[in-house]
Amino acid sequence: MDTPDTFNYLLLGYAVLFGLPFLYLLSWWFRRRNLQRDLELLQTLNDEQKK
Amino acid sequence: MFKSDRVAQILNLVTAGLLLVATAMVFFYAPTEVTMGAVQRVFYFHVAAAWVGLAAFMVTFVAGLVYLRTGKHLWDQIGHASVEIGLVFTVMGAASGSIWARPAWNTWWTWDPRLTTYTIMALIYVAYLMLRQGLDDPDRRARFAAIYGIVGFISVPITFFSIRIWRTIHPVVVGGSGDAAQGTFHMTSPMLQTMLFSVFTFSVVYVCLLVNRVRLEDLAERVEQLKVRMLSA
Amino acid sequence: MRPSSAGEGQALPGQPARPAASGALAAAGAYWRAVSAVLWKDLAAEFRSRELLSAMLVFSLLVVLIFNFALQLDRVARENVAAGVLWVTAVFSGTLGLNRSLSQEKDRGSLDGLLLAPVDRSALYFGKMLGNWLFMLVVQAIILPVFSVLYNLPMLLPLNLVVVLLGTLGYAGVGTLLASMAVHSRSRDVMLPILLLPVAVPVLVAAVQASGGLLEQRAWDEISQWFSLLIGYDVIFIAVAFMAFDYVLEE
């Protein structure tokens, strides 16, 4: 029996297997960035309030 | 373990290294399978992702029990983080399985017990996240999420058995091969080593993600507390 | 911080532990009185307003009719899908009833009053659960004959009634717990089905298969496993809900 050529499916499979966690990590990056911005803003506001 | 920067850094490095080795093993160490061809290499990470998906929900189950017993906030964070990560891996497992099934079974999807159970399980944990989102009081959110994490996880094996009675065509990898299973293949020892190493690697990846997710949650809570303090001041 | 776990039994708090069996018997009696008080309250309220039952009933009839059109049922198709239609009807109207039953409780604040009563909180669960189960059964008692006539099928077979009893029990058992959580969420009307349906899949599968097998007059060997599954599900989830309910109410 010949081995079928399924290389394209292999590529697709690993594109998904690496792509999905990549997107998930990207969402973390955005979340972290927004939080850090908020944190800085809050800290400056806090400092102004003290003055 | 969750709070130390150093532990997180080391864990990140180790995880990246293991992932590189595992990927290399999948593409260069494991031989090409004869009857299915190259696509069989999807199998290694597919199994690993599906395993981590299930294990992550099991962690949420245990974290829920411990949270209800002790009321310690960290266990609520772990439960929540684990569901999020588990869902990512469940979708990875399902999608890669589907891509493998197209050439192997000649269909993207079958109503096989394992596939169906996995889908229902994913829906349970989507519901878990929606429940959390719908609750404002943090204490109540933690309790309800813990309860739902427990109830949901208990239902998974029962769901599996209820659907099992419809015959499976999913290949049985460990143990005897099912007679109705298509796409079963004989595993040579490099294949087995690659699979076991992938499973191990993904387990470490899971722990690494969990630690980092809990740390992100800590940051979010710090910002939230600061906001509340600012508003009340 | 935590109250005694729900699993620790049915002794009333604040009541000195009396030795001998009479103490346990008295506690069991008190427990049952608490359960029946909650159940009775629900039944009395429903008897006055009838809003829950009438809504469930009309909704069920509508589902039965809609399915007839949606699936373009001819005689053969009707027989094949009858069990499925029956259980989808039961499940959807059950969700409706569960949601109303628990959100009324929250809106009127009557649960807070009940919380002050010196009874084990799991008695509240059993009271609510039995009420919801009873409502589902009443709806079924009316729907099943109608269904038998409309679909020309023997829905009232004694064994099918057992399936209905077991299936609705499991659904009400886990549904009461989840509804008591769903009513606290912001989008509470849509929350319950999202929480409940994926967890209730085994009940639905087993009940549809059991009812379908009975209607097709299959051998008992083929059907019995679905009965075991239903009983197993009922036992497991009522036990889990009983233990978890304490934590839902904790304020």
Domains of chain B with bracketed CATH: 5-27+35-232 (1.20.120)
Judging contact as 3 or more Cβ pairs under 8 Å, the answer for A and C is no
Distance CA B115, CA B126 (A): 17
Cβ contact B166:B111 at 8 Å: yes
Chains in contact with C, where contact means 3 or more Cβ–Cβ distances below 8 Å, are B
Mutate to test the interface with B, among C8, C106, C185 (most CBs of B within 10 A): C185
Which residue in chain B has the smallest CA separation from C201?
Answer: B159
Residue with tokens 């245990």: B62
Residue with tokens 């696509």: B39
Which residue in chain B has the smallest CA separation from C244?
Answer: B147
pLDDT in tens, C31-54: 888 888 888 888 888 888 888 889
For a pLDDT cut of 70, what percent of chain B falls above it? Answer: 91
User: B18: number of CA atoms within 13 Å, CB side?
Assistant: 19
What residues contact residue C118 under an 8 Å CB cut-off, 6+ apart?
C12, C13, C14
Cβ contact C227:C162 at 8 Å: yes
Q: Using a CB-CB distance cutoff of 8 angstroms, which residues of chain B are in contact with residue C229? A: 158, 161-162
Decide if pLDDT at C19 tops 60: no
What pLDDT is attached to residue C251? Answer: 64
Q: At residue B33, what are phi and psi to the nearest 5 degrees?
A: -75, 145
**Mean pLDDT in residue range C186-213:** 91
Q: What is the DSSP string of C144-164?
A: HHHHHHHHT--TT-HHHHHHH
Which residue in chain B has the smallest CA separation from C227?
Answer: B162
Distance CA C130, CA C143 (A): 20
Q: C225: pLDDT confidence band, cut at 50, 70 and 90?
A: confident
- Angle (CA) C157-C237-B69 rounded to 5° is 170
Burial (CB count within 10 angstroms: exposed 0-12, middle 13-18, buried 19+), residue C137: middle
Among the listed residues B130, B66, B111, B119, the one whose alpha carbon sits nearest the alpha carbon of residue B90? B119
Distance, CA of C186 to chain centre? 23
Nearest to C201 among B68, B120, B150 (CB): B120
- Angle (CA) B109-B110-B113 rounded to 5° is 125
Among the listed residues A40, A49, A51, the one whose alpha carbon sits nearest the alpha carbon of residue B231? A49
Q: Using a CB-CB distance cutoff of 8 angstroms, which residues of chain B are in contact with residue A28? A: 212-213, 216
Cβ contact C235:C202 at 8 Å: no
pLDDT in tens, B13-67: 999 999 999 999 988 888 888 777 788 888 999 999 999 999 999 999 999 999 9
Chains in contact with A, where contact means 3 or more Cβ–Cβ distances below 8 Å, are B
pLDDT in tens, B106-151: 888 877 778 888 999 999 999 999 999 999 999 999 999 999 999 9
Which ipTM was obtained for this model?
A: 0.86
What pLDDT is attached to residue C75? Answer: 74
Q: What is the DSSP string of A7-51?
A: HHHHHHHHHHHHHHHHHHHHHHHHHHHHHHHHHHHHHHHHHHHH-
Distance, CA of C45 to chain centre? 18
Among the listed residues B84, C220, C148, the one whose alpha carbon sits nearest the alpha carbon of residue A28? B84
